Copies of this chain bind each other. A is one copy, B any other.
Amino acid sequence: MSNTKVLPLLEPEVSEAVAPCCPPLTERPFTAEEAETAAGMFKALGDPVRLRLFSAVASHEGGEACVCDISDVGVSQPTVSHHLKKLKEAGLLTSERRGTWVYYRVEPSVLAAMGKLLTIAPAAA
């Protein structure tokens, strides 16, 4: 192996702010804009392989994982990378390169926001 030093030259890749978008689904009809945002997050989790990868990252030791940790879902490495990219684009994962590997981490605020969408609001009048 090499004894190359890992220099922290790179700033962590920060995804765009992922603000909670919407009220609970049961509170009032969503506007078109709210629906657009929230549907993007649901869609990202609407694929079995992506969901397995997301769950693998979310439940991994320390709440983060590199591709090397989570490739056990029966698809090729490029496919894994493709799905991780989609999850990042939806704001569900953030990533940071450290040395050779890119580490993925769940964005807890997004998870919380999605959970809130699915809470049951008091019955409408």
> For residue A28, which residues in chain B have a CB less than 8 angstroms away from its CB?
55, 59
Chain B interface: which of A3-11, A39-47, A95-103?
A39-47
Least Cβ–Cβ distance between A79 and chain B, in angstroms: 14
> For residue A61, which residues in chain B have a CB less than 8 angstroms away from its CB?
124-125
**Count of identical protomers in the assembly:** 2
Contact A108 B120 (CB under 8 A): yes
Out of B27, B39, B74, B119, name the residue touching A50 (CB < 8 Å). B39
On A, residues with C-beta under 8 Å from B are 25-30, 32, 35-36, 38-40, 42-52, 54-56, 58-63, 70, 72-74, 106, 108, 111-112, 114-115, 118-121, 123-125
